[in-house]
Structure 1
């Protein structure tokens, strides 16, 4: 596993070009989750083995520093291994999503709720992306997940985009999740430097299989728990693994939005001129007379 990680590029901008790994979901799950379990099973180091009775405070402090460094190094390697591995299907949908967002940003869109996209109208933006991806031939829908309060986890709901690709009869279908605010979902105001380093590597827009998303959630939630423990702070229930997983993994209600009725444009309406702002000097013919500017 160490050899695989050592070859992973450190620049996220080259993510889409690094597609040399196997597309088999079982291969990916075995590597990532197997390595996580191996790390969890070996978490008890010689520093806490209990083979000695008396311990020097400096030795204990040094031991904790080494263990913390090892943890964050491991999380960083796992995160990169999960992010930089991609399949041809994910790369294709990711590129289509990127093109769609660029088009929307360039021409604008008609927002049904009266807000502009720049004002973070998430619902209308998701709707527009879903319609455009459908036009490109993708089975894209808006998914709304809901979960009830249980075991100290508060209830909640979340919306995201999902593309379902049907495979042959043996493999069934593949779910590809599109989350438009992925990095923001894991940001914490009082996080330490190590946690922020992990978060800064996340893409703003995540496009990937559900299996990859599960692995990322486990890595980041484990890091959040460690971060709060080091700072001696309580980890909010909305930051825990079960809550975060409920957002994207599990049952959800799929809605396939229909395009706007014919005659309605998806572009912003052209603003009308007002006599309060109309510049008479620029629009009047050139005569030898004095014009008065209306204020």
Structure 2
């Protein structure tokens, strides 16, 4: 074989010209593939385990959050003072009287419906509570849109004030007839619905207690909306809800005016003309002329 033929033969020769080398090459390639597949499987399992642990942790944190909110809500609702209890009982009695007297129409004469409008109903209820000895007024909250409260609004409610003197200060008790409806939402989580269901329809409590409840419920609303990646409407935010119960009295409470007793003017001494003439005659005329 000449030199040219040997060069061509070497040129077109397979790099694994020996059978044993070829078999070893295939074995090496299979080992590499198996090793790569095992490493990928290990990474996938590790990622799945990590994801599952995160989900479990999130689930436990979520459960702990809602349990805490429920506990805070119940604690806030069940704590009450004797004055709050008396106002609550009087408010329930007033509602019973108003319901039994339903059908007389509205005092403002804007509607002839069987049930009075909300504001007139509050006025009547305020009058009943005043008759029971409570300093009760109808309050109206009005606010404009701002950077903190991006939506304007208005709300009407009842307020009872107990004077505590210079040391304790006045106690403001809020009466809200449709308290539960203020926080109800059509599209909400089961945990939030369960929380709202624990609220009373008639709320009677101190302003501080009301603020704590609003904070709890607005925080719960924000939590479940963030979980669902939903937009929190302005009228669902904490600042907006707090503004509902910062109103001023619609009408001042009636003040009992006591009229002063009439002044006694001393009357002039009345003297009989006959006696006057007779006395005067005796004093100036010592002798009496007899006719």
TM-score by length of 2: 0.66
Could you tell me how far 1:85 is from its partner in structure 2? 0.8
Out of 93, 111, 115, the residue aligned to residue 114 of structure 1 is 111
Q: 1:115 to 1:233 in 2, by over 3 A?
A: farther
Deviations 1:23-48 (A, max 9, x none): xxxxxxxxxxxxxxxxxxxxxxxxxx
Q: Which residue of 2 aligns with 1:73?
A: 67
Distance 2:155 2:112 in 1: 20
Judged with a 3 Å threshold, the aligned counterparts in structure 2 of structure 1 residues 74 and 127 are, in CA distance, closer, same or farther, namely same
| Corresponding residue SS for 1:143 | strand
Q: What's the counterpart of residue 214 of structure 2?
A: 217
Q: How big is the shift at 1:251?
A: 4.7
Match of 1:124 in 2: 120
For 2:87, the equivalent position in structure 1 comes to 93
Deviations 1:113-137 (A, max 9, x none): 324364x721111011001111111
Question: What TM-score do you get using the length of structure 1 for normalisation?
Answer: 0.66
| Change in 2 beyond 3 A, CA 1:131/1:73 | same
Runs of 4+ residues deviating >3 angstroms: 115-118
Cα deviation, 1:38-90, whole Å, max 9, x if unaligned, reads xxxxxxxxxxxxxxxx8711111111111110100000000000001110000
Higher relative contact order (CA 8 A, sep 6+): 1
Structure 2 residue runs of 5 or longer lacking an equivalent are: 1-46, 255-291
In the alignment, what sits opposite 1:201?
198
SS where residue 138 of structure 2 aligns? strand
| SS of equivalent to 1:224 | helix
Which residue pairs with 1:105 in the alignment?
Answer: 99
Where does structure 1 lack aligned partners over 5 or more consecutive residues? 1-53, 259-295
Matched residue, 2:180: 183
Q: Which has the larger radius of gyration?
A: 2
Choose from 133, 142, 147 the match for 1:146: 142
State the number of aligned residues: 204
Task: Report if aligned partners of 1:126, 1:160 keep a CA contact under 8 Å in 2.
Answer: yes
CA contact (8 A) 2:73 2:216 kept: yes
1:171 lines up with 2:168 in the alignment: yes
